[in-house]
A and B are shown apart, each in its own frame.
Chain A
Amino acid sequence: MRRTVAALLRKDVLLELRTKETVPAMALFAVTTFVVFHFGLNRGSVSGDLAAGVFWVTLLFAAMLGINRLFVAEREQGGFDAFLLAPADRTALLVAKTAALFAFLSVLELVAVPAFALLLLQPSVWPALPALVGVLALANAGVAVVGTLASALAIQTRARDLIAPLLALPLLIPVVLAAAKASTPLLLAAGPGTIAARWPLILGLYDLVFALTAYAVFDFLLED
């Protein structure tokens, strides 16, 4: 199981390193969206709940690009058939794809957080950074699990580019809600305040519930 996951993950990372199809597009999309927000809101800088909202909505839509493309290689190049032929546990594909999406999101944030701090954020990002990284990790896990599920559900449909965001967006509302509430005190103009404990808890609970649900149902998406 562990070796299968490692092999699949290595394949995904290698593919991304060679083709550079997904992550650069996500990062570019995020930076462009910050610029769009600048003009849409007609503001030079944001802080507090507005900053948290702009930041998380941008990340969510950028993540959507990655979610849409997550299984495209498997579908178009026969990767699904090859994987089903191999004597491997099907859960390995779920774990590997979730890990890959988590890694893509982390790289995206390596670009998006500095860009946000530079372009829009009014207070300095440094004092908030440790707590923000924690919130980002919890939210990434939720987005990665639900995104993998939505992507796997949508990939076999005729209108997959439409179905994946339609499924993923409502499912991810609690993540955006909790992550935005958690990062609001971090991005206050007066300097970071403390996070109410319930937001990380909600994010953790969400991650746990959907990880278990995904583990239970993922096998049924791979039976052809």
Chain B
Amino acid sequence: MYGKGLRALSLATTVVLTGAFALVFFYAPNDADQGFIQKIFYVHVPMAIVALCGFIAGGVMAIAHLRTRAQKWDMRSYVAIHLSLILGVGVLVTGSIWAKASWGHWWVWNEPTLVSFLIIFLLYACYQPLRFSIEDPERQARYASVFAIIAGAFVPLNFLAVRLAQAYTHPRVLGTTGGSLPGDMRLTFLVALAGMVLLFVTLWKYEMTSKHAAMQLRALRRKLAGDEAPVRAAGRSAAPAATLHARPDTH
């Protein structure tokens, strides 16, 4: 169900990402101020944008879960948030490298975007512990959705507060919006952003496909072996529990 179009999507992702890196290295000019290191911008900023959008998408999917009570929306929300968390680690690492290279410190507190991102990352880092510590799968899905909605509302508010708190910001060579970029840099940035979006969607679909297939497999096994079959305990995981097709058989 989620596997449809996966091959085409994977191919598109590979092509666009390869193209983006080719543009980054061979087409976009070196920044006059920061030189070669500025090129990390084409990885760092798209990754941050996609991670934030992924968090918010997770919140929107959580709303869908609370409205429909369909387990698939909880699964979708979970996968979106957990992929965004992985991207978030990448954002903090690349941001740190960029800060070290251009300002000489691994962490700078007067870069509001990076600081806001850290706060949001710390908040979402509680998502998995929260899921872990609720046993009942239905309640786990419900509470995780409530968390995802609260955190999704927190994202823009936090950016606003931290941005206002900076008396002065570093002279921003490059705005995060890309609005102030010269043409060839902007093109490269947009292609890199498209590549990152495609990568996120592809990974999301892959994980959904894999989880869905594992669920179906487990349900089929249970059906074949009957009720008494020892159900192999799934490894400790915060992922939504597999209950697909399993309910009617167990009663």
Encode contact with A along B136-172: 1 for CB under 8 Å, 0 otherwise: 0001001101110111011001101110110000000
Which A residues are CB-close (under 8 A) to B151?
171
User: What is the chain B residue whose CB lies nearest that of A173?
Assistant: B119
Task: Give the Cβ gap from A156 to chain B, nearest Cβ, in Å.
Answer: 7
**A174 interface neighbour in B134, B142, B145, B157, Cβ under 8 Å:** B157
Which B residues are CB-close (under 8 A) to A217?
66, 146, 149-150
Alpha-carbon distance between A171 and B155 when the two chains are bound, in angstroms: 10
B122 contacts chain A at the CB level, 8 A cutoff: yes
Whether B162 lies near A177 (C-beta < 8 A) is yes
A101 contacts chain B at the CB level, 8 A cutoff: no
A149 contacts chain B at the CB level, 8 A cutoff: yes
Which A residues are CB-close (under 8 A) to B158?
173-174
Whether A162 lies near B66 (C-beta < 8 A) is no
Task: Give the Cβ gap from A71 to chain B, nearest Cβ, in Å.
Answer: 13
Whether A167 lies near B130 (C-beta < 8 A) is yes
Taking each of B122, B160, B164, which has the highest tally of chain A beta carbons within 10 Å of its own beta carbon?
Answer: B164
User: What is the chain A residue whose CB lies nearest that of B144?
Assistant: A153
- Report the count of interface residues on B (CB-CB < 8 A): 29
Whether B143 lies near A153 (C-beta < 8 A) is yes
Task: Give the Cβ gap from B181 to chain A, nearest Cβ, in Å.
Answer: 29
Given A163-B126, A170-B122, A171-B123, decide whether A156 and B143 contact each other with a Cβ distance below 8 A. Answer: yes
Whether A202 lies near B146 (C-beta < 8 A) is no
Whether A159 lies near B145 (C-beta < 8 A) is no
A157 contacts chain B at the CB level, 8 A cutoff: yes
Encode contact with B along A108-142: 1 for CB under 8 Å, 0 otherwise: 00000000000000000000000000000000000
B179 contacts chain A at the CB level, 8 A cutoff: no
Whether B142 lies near A159 (C-beta < 8 A) is no
Alpha-carbon distance between A224 and B162 when the two chains are bound, in angstroms: 38
B175 contacts chain A at the CB level, 8 A cutoff: no
Task: Give the Cβ gap from B109 to chain A, nearest Cβ, in Å.
Answer: 12
Whether B123 lies near A163 (C-beta < 8 A) is no
For the A-B complex with A217-B146, A221-B146 known, give 18 more contacts whose Cβ atoms are closer than 8 Å: A154-B130, A157-B130, A163-B130, A163-B133, A166-B129, A170-B120, A170-B122, A171-B154, A174-B162, A177-B162, A205-B157, A206-B157, A206-B161, A213-B150, A217-B149, A220-B145, A220-B146, A221-B143
